[in-house]
Chain A
Amino acid sequence: MALFAVPSAFAAPDAELADIRGEIRALKEAYEARIQALERRLKQAEAAVATPVAPAPAPVAAAMPSPAPSSSKSAFNPAISAILSGTYAHLSRSPSGYAIPGFSPEGEIGPGRRGFSLGESELVLSANVDPSFSGTLILAVTPEDSIAVEEAYGQWLTAPFGLSAKFGRFLSGVGYLNEQHPHAWDFVDAPLAYQAFLGGRHSNDGVQVKWLAPIDHYVELGVQAGNGDAYPGSERDRNGVGSSAFYAHTGGDIGATQSWRAGVSYLRTRSEDELGASAASRLGIADFVWKYAPHGTGRQNLKVQGEYFSGRIREATRQSGWYLQGVYQFMPEWRVGARYDRLDPRGVDDVTYAPRKASVMLDYNPSEFTRIRLQFARSELASGVSDNQFFVQYILSLGAHGAHRY
């Protein structure tokens, strides 16, 4: 190499000389990197020989060009992840007669069963379908051995003008907590307001279109239309749209340490009772979340969030409810939180007492894939009737688990 470079360098002007020097340096660097990589391989090989159980041969050293991608069919497998969770609940009142006076939601409500129980195991498959679409399937395997399609949606990725579209079954974009799966919640159970107004959370079979404003500040508008089978809607033998929702979210940073998001949502659903009488439900939600990380690193941080619900469910009197919660991560692996829930039934079913609930929790996260949580809650859903609830919960995430939303 040097023999070849030197004679031509004699005749070359300075600029060329510099080029050649650059090339030689680049070559030297490349060889150095290779030699270092080989040295590392040698060390690894020596270490492997030293241990009684020899691992598989070391893979191709980093500095070598990467091999061509394998052409097996499995190369296009979707990303797979699973969530395992389970709870031990100690409840002072039997959950069998659980009801929220003044409200009559259907769905996943209440504190769950007493004693040990397996939570829903979630299985997530997702992949790009082609250059324009991606697909996600989320199955919930219930402890009763049934499988439910939690979400199954396609997304149009290449829509113009900051638009994005989702279609299929998905969690509605209303409120803040609604789009989060239970494993991402900060408490074992959903807030009372979510249980009373949405039967836990609102899922939708339909279409959603979002638009992100082309400005430096985050402003997102969303609209969705669906069948409205989920509470407060109900299954109907009708054409057309059974539920529609509109929402707007905005948010930003305050300096380098704080960030926030706030929004308003409106959900309208239609329901039909056994006699075929139709009723409409209208619900408004205002939500906010504020996060503070003093060192900007996320090692210690505080999150405060709250949502306010107000609406007429199946043409009843206007009712309201809210929750406010704070979660403080005081050490990288530990978080502590508190939540207060309150509902105002406004005399529906002659109920005037405002159901309330206070919860505190402590969770330990040895890694970002494991969470072990203790929670104590005291709920008073009717005057003088209180339930002391104690939970121990674990959440494990396996596999290619994607990032969580803000």
Chain B
Amino acid sequence: MKIFSRVLLVAGAMFALSAHAAISIFATVPEWGALAEEIGGDKVKVYVATTAMQDPHRVEARPSLIAKARGADLIVATGAELEIGWLPLVVQQAANPKVRPGTPGYFEAAAAVPLLGKPTRLDRADGDIHPQGDPHIQADARNIGRVAAALGTRLAQVDPANAAYYQARATAFGARWSEAVARWEKAAAPLRGVAIVVQHKAFTYLTAWLGMTEVAALEPKPGMEPTTAHLSEVLATLQRTPAKMVVRAAYQGDRPSQWLAQRAKIATVVLPFTVGGTEGARDLFTLFDDTIQRLLKATQ
């Protein structure tokens, strides 16, 4: 009994401490970690659950993630079922009522943007489809701006004492971001109409934003490994409708895209996909600098 009361005492003390420290943010993917730092400044402490080299669909509910979610004040997730394979379990096992879905401590970026690629048919025969729409929203820079505004509002709600601070930083970021978006759109003008092949259907937002067209995907169905038979079909498609390049995210294996690129004699482009995906993509701004630069290079 004595031990039990001591444990409670220590727990209580830690609880009290955490109330005064910076807001603790659990970001599921690097782009939202970077955004939380931009808006939260020195009032937040950010933990990012995955690296750019991990497939965000295939993460395990590891003990370390559960421990981090236990102490979080705010979870910043993509939503639209991107993290369906691990986040619900992490949240459930973290025993932290503050960050349960439906509470202010649980933020989904996808709720702040118009979702594309909503399937017209919900059937697992179509592969790993996302019923609410394509969750890879960060590939369109304008979406980052939309999420930034929503995240600023949410931070103000979670930590009302610093509400003005978050709102001011969100507004300032929004202004800088709008300028940057205009710059990227201008730089990416030559990409309009360029045809590409993608490895995973992860660039819907990028192609929609920059006016590129997606000719084919190397995965026969979303989330299923490319097969030789399907790659041959893609190759045949490319003879009718040629594409400039085959694009993959940094976390994906390079063999399927290399196979196709060699036979179709087109360029392969590795995009950072998120902050940290390439050496150049150090933060949100350089993420898009690097992405557009890599695409432009492949068109030359």
Residues of A within 8 A of B (CB): 18, 22, 25, 29, 33, 36-37, 40, 44, 55-56, 58-59, 62-63, 157-164, 210-219, 249-253, 256, 259-261, 291, 295-299, 332-333, 366-369, 402-406
Residues of B within 8 A of A (CB): 7-8, 11-12, 14-15, 18, 51, 53-55, 58-64, 66-68, 70-71, 84-86, 88-89, 92-97, 100, 114-118, 120-121, 124, 127-128, 133, 142, 174-175, 178, 208, 223-225, 251, 253
The CA of A367 and the CA of B124, in the complex, are separated in Å by 10
- The DSSP consensus for interface residues of chain A is loop
Known contacts A37-B116, A251-B64, A405 near B253 by CB under 8 Å: no
Chain A residues within an 8 Å CB radius of B54? 296-298
Chain A residues within an 8 Å CB radius of B92? 157
The CA of A250 and the CA of B63, in the complex, are separated in Å by 8
Q: Is the CB of A253 within 8 A of B224?
A: no
Residue from A25, A218, A298 within 8 A of B60 (CB atoms): A298
Q: Is the CB of A403 within 8 A of B120?
A: no
Q: Is the CB of A367 within 8 A of B70?
A: no
Chain B residues within an 8 Å CB radius of A256? 51, 53
Q: Is the CB of A218 within 8 A of B88?
A: no
CB distance from B187 to the nearest CB of A (A): 17
Q: Is the CB of A62 within 8 A of B53?
A: no
Known A-B contacts: A158-B100, A366-B224, A402-B88. Give 7 more (CB < 8 A).
A55-B121, A58-B120, A161-B8, A213-B11, A214-B70, A298-B55, A369-B124
Q: Is the CB of A218 within 8 A of B95?
A: no
Known contacts A217-B67, A369-B124, A62 near B118 by CB under 8 Å: yes
Chain B residues within an 8 Å CB radius of A37? 114, 116
Q: Is the CB of B66 within 8 A of A212?
A: yes
Known contacts A214-B18, A259-B62, A367-B224, A157 near B97 by CB under 8 Å: yes
Q: Is the CB of A295 within 8 A of B53?
A: yes
- The DSSP consensus for interface residues of chain B is loop
Known contacts A296-B54, A366-B224, A403 near B64 by CB under 8 Å: no
Chain A residues within an 8 Å CB radius of B251? 297
Known contacts A55-B121, A162-B95, A163-B95, A212 near B58 by CB under 8 Å: no
- Could you list 10 examples of A-B contacts with CB < 8 Å? A22-B175, A63-B114, A157-B92, A158-B100, A162-B11, A162-B95, A214-B71, A259-B64, A332-B225, A406-B63
Chain B residues within an 8 Å CB radius of A250? 63
Q: Is the CB of A406 within 8 A of B118?
A: no
* A261: nearest chain-B partner, CB-CB: B63
Residue from B8, B64, B178 within 8 A of A253 (CB atoms): B64
Q: Is the CB of A299 within 8 A of B253?
A: yes
CB distance from A329 to the nearest CB of B (A): 11
Chain A residues within an 8 Å CB radius of B85? 368, 403
* B86: nearest chain-A partner, CB-CB: A403
Q: Is the CB of B224 within 8 A of A159?
A: no
* A163: nearest chain-B partner, CB-CB: B95
Number of A-B contacts (CB under 8 A): 138
Chain A residues within an 8 Å CB radius of B89? 402-405
Q: Is the CB of A216 within 8 A of B8?
A: no
CB distance from B95 to the nearest CB of A (A): 4
Q: Is the CB of B71 within 8 A of A216?
A: yes
Q: Is the CB of A252 within 8 A of B60?
A: no
Chain B residues within an 8 Å CB radius of A367? 124, 127-128, 223-224
Q: Is the CB of B53 within 8 A of A297?
A: yes
Q: Is the CB of A161 within 8 A of B64?
A: no
Chain B residues within an 8 Å CB radius of A212? 66-67, 70, 93-95
The CA of A212 and the CA of B99, in the complex, are separated in Å by 15
CB distance from B123 to the nearest CB of A (A): 12
CB distance from B9 to the nearest CB of A (A): 11
CB distance from B215 to the nearest CB of A (A): 14
Q: Is the CB of A403 within 8 A of B88?
A: yes
Q: Is the CB of A299 within 8 A of B63?
A: no
Known contacts A62-B116, A297-B53, A164 near B61 by CB under 8 Å: no
The CA of A367 and the CA of B223, in the complex, are separated in Å by 8
CB distance from A368 to the nearest CB of B (A): 8
The CA of A400 and the CA of B182, in the complex, are separated in Å by 42
The CA of A218 and the CA of B223, in the complex, are separated in Å by 31
The CA of A37 and the CA of B11, in the complex, are separated in Å by 51
Q: Is the CB of B68 within 8 A of A158?
A: no
Q: Is the CB of A333 within 8 A of B94?
A: no
The CA of A105 and the CA of B85, in the complex, are separated in Å by 36
Q: Is the CB of B95 within 8 A of A406?
A: no
Known contacts A158-B97, A212-B66, A214-B18, A406 near B61 by CB under 8 Å: yes
The CA of A332 and the CA of B251, in the complex, are separated in Å by 14
Residue from B8, B18, B53, B208 within 8 A of A36 (CB atoms): B208
Known contacts A55-B121, A161-B8, A297 near B64 by CB under 8 Å: no
Interface centre among A44, A163, A291, A406 (most CB of B within 10 A): A406
Residue from B15, B64, B100 within 8 A of A218 (CB atoms): B64
* B97: nearest chain-A partner, CB-CB: A158
Chain B residues within an 8 Å CB radius of A249? 63
Chain A residues within an 8 Å CB radius of B7? 211
CB distance from B181 to the nearest CB of A (A): 9
CB distance from B131 to the nearest CB of A (A): 11
CB distance from A301 to the nearest CB of B (A): 9
Residue from A216, A297, A405 within 8 A of B68 (CB atoms): A216
Q: Is the CB of B88 within 8 A of A162?
A: no
Residue from B8, B58, B67 within 8 A of A297 (CB atoms): B58
Chain A residues within an 8 Å CB radius of B67? 212-213, 215-219, 252
The CA of A366 and the CA of B219, in the complex, are separated in Å by 13
CB distance from B37 to the nearest CB of A (A): 19
Residue from A215, A261, A296 within 8 A of B14 (CB atoms): A215
